[in-house]
Amino acid sequence: MSGTQTAGPEAHNGHRRDAFGGAGEPLGGPGQHTPGLAGRVMHAVAGQVRGRVPVADLDERDPDYIRESLPRLWLLASLWFRGEVRGLGNIPDEGPVLLVGNHSGGNISPDTGVFTLAFSTYFGVERRFYQLAHNLVLSMPFLGFLRKYGTVAASPENAEQALDSGAALLVYPGGDHEVHRPSWEGNTVNFAGRRGFVRLALEHDVPIVPVVSIGGQETALFLSRGERLSRLLGLDRLLRLKVLPISVAAPWGLNVGDMLGHIPLPAKITIEVLPAIHLREQFGPEPDVDEVYDHVLETMQETLDALASERRLPILG
Amino acid sequence: MRVAAQIEIAAPPELVWAFVTDPTRTLHFMSGVTRWEIASPGNDRGLGARYRVLMRVGSAEVGGLVETVEFAEPYDMAWTSVTGVDQRGRWRLRHNGPSRTRVELRLSYGIAGAGIAGWIAERVAAPSVRDNLRRSVLELRRQVEHEQARARAAARRAAARAS
């Protein structure tokens, strides 16, 4: 459950553009000229990915499946990550809500799992809850089960459908940029300037609830996002992948790309849910997107700093 | 998985019953319980009363909507889950001599269809749930006996003033 991100107004079915600086052209579309064998391989991979990205279907979320899998999630969250989620009472008991989180842990992102468990047990699996994810995540065959949890491709249509249905929607504006940040930037909220979530909340007049987590970036040693490498290989244009992360992670050792995931170290995951921000109540009838963005980022960073000050040792928490 | 905790309280069942059936008091003595809200407007206790219940176990607050299915004053109150984790709970109060009550709090829980992971999770959670129940009956005894002592002291003061 990684690389989850929001998408912006120009995107279409998760194949075009995300509002936060995603790929600017359709996958494998015109204007892409990656030469040679490597280029053909990348085009083939892009074609595979594009074909595998499921058409948005919110009905794929399966409450019975989620309920039956809660013990598995609970064992993992409680025993391996010693997860602790605070402030779930800050989420409005009903109605659509945009949950905005910081994202950590590479392609195996424990914060999403811990939060999904906490949300599902607190509000019940009957409450509709969706998460936006990167196309690549949803196209991986062994991650198909995520759709049963309500994970859908990051696109404005999916986000709108989810909010229109009255659901809670979890987005990670930082997406792949944030989730693969170096470990020494672990205690920094980094949305890379992506403001689409603010526009989304304004258009649908839903409250934003910040969700701040810590510990995910301690589940491996993240060395670099590998943005240059990604550009060099054309992954940004072909797969909407602006990064090709490099990390030291179990069981691979040096792990380039994290495409097969990794075994996360048992770092303690702490998540704090902050009070809901009702944009028009707090910022007036026509809120300034930049002002809201700065406020959300600042609030989340302050909370992350407080959570960081509680930790004594990496991994142990 | 079924866990239980028992205790003897130096008070009549009627007084203990007033505590365990009052939803506004539940959070004051139930250990680990983070939510016990009335979910049936107009029916805060008795047969058919519903509550939203959550108990912190491990990394999650687990529970759901429960409904009172047995309400035999002042001896038995049982509830069962409507949504959320499958659960069935019971307060069982019995006379144990004059002005003494034997109290048992039982809780059965699980998730049907969860398979081997569910079986393991139930057992891993059991010590934590059992500990919550044990702390709950201890706190219940403290509060009930304190309430009884306070009532007796008030009665003595009233009698002294009258004489």
A266 in Cβ contact with A315 (< 8 Å):
yes
Please provide the average confidence, as pLDDT, over all residues in chain B. 96
pLDDT of residue A8: 39
Query: Under an 8 A CB cutoff, do A79 and B85 touch?
Result: no
Which comes out higher in pLDDT, residue A14 or A48? A48
Give pLDDT tens digits for A239-284. Answer: 777 899 999 999 999 999 988 889 999 999 999 999 999 999 999 9
Higher pLDDT, A260 or B56: B56
**B103-138 residue pLDDT tens:** 999 999 999 999 999 999 999 999 999 999 999 999
Give the C-alpha separation, A50 to A52, whole Å: 5
Distance from CA of B129 to the nearest CA of A (A): 14
Q: Is the CB of residue B82 less than 8 Å from the CB of residue B67?
A: yes
Please answer yes or no on whether A71 and B120 come within 8 Å at the CB atom. yes
Name which of A79, A83, A124 is nearest B64 (Cβ-Cβ). Answer: A124
pLDDT tier, B48 (very low <50, low <70, confident <90, very high otherwise): very high
Determine, for residues A122 and B111 on separate chains, whether the beta-carbon distance falls below 8 Å.
no
What pLDDT digit, counting tens, does each position of B7-41 carry? 999 999 999 999 999 999 999 999 999 999 999 99
Secondary structure E strands in chain A: 84-86, 97-101, 129-133, 151-153, 168-171, 208-214, 221-224, 246-249, 253-256, 270-273
Tokens of A203: 């258009």
Residue carrying structure tokens 């996002």: A225
pLDDT at B2: 96
Mean pLDDT for B66-90 is 97
Under an 8 A CB cutoff, do A118 and B122 touch? no
Using alpha carbons, select from B60, B54, B51, B101 the residue that is nearest to residue B78: B51
pTM: 0.87
> Considering only CB atoms, which chain B residues are within 8 Å of A84?
59
Report CB contact under 8 Å: A121, B83: no
How many angstroms away from the CA of A50 is the closest CA of chain B? Answer: 34
Where do runs of H (alpha helix) occur along B48-114? none
Q: List the beta strands (DSSP E) in chain B.
A: 2-9, 33-38, 50-57, 60-72, 76-81, 86-95, 101-110
Phi, psi values for residue B34, rounded to 5°:
-105, -10
Residues of B in contact with A67 (CB under 8 A): 111, 113
**Neighbouring residues of B127: CB distance < 8 A, sequence distance ≥ 6:** none
- Asked if B59 and A69 come within 8 Å (Cβ–Cβ), the reply is no
The A97-101 sheet, strands edge to edge: A84-86, A270-273, A208-214, A97-101, A168-171, A129-133, A151-153
pLDDT digits (tens, 9 = 90+) for A137-194: 887 778 889 999 999 998 889 999 999 999 999 999 999 899 999 999 999 999 999 9
Give the one of B60, B111, B118 whose C-beta lies nearest to A118's C-beta.
Answer: B60
Q: Indicate yes or no: CB of A78 within 8 angstroms of CB of B60.
A: yes
Question: What's residue A21's pLDDT?
Answer: 32
What contacts B98, CB < 8 A, 6 or more positions away?
none
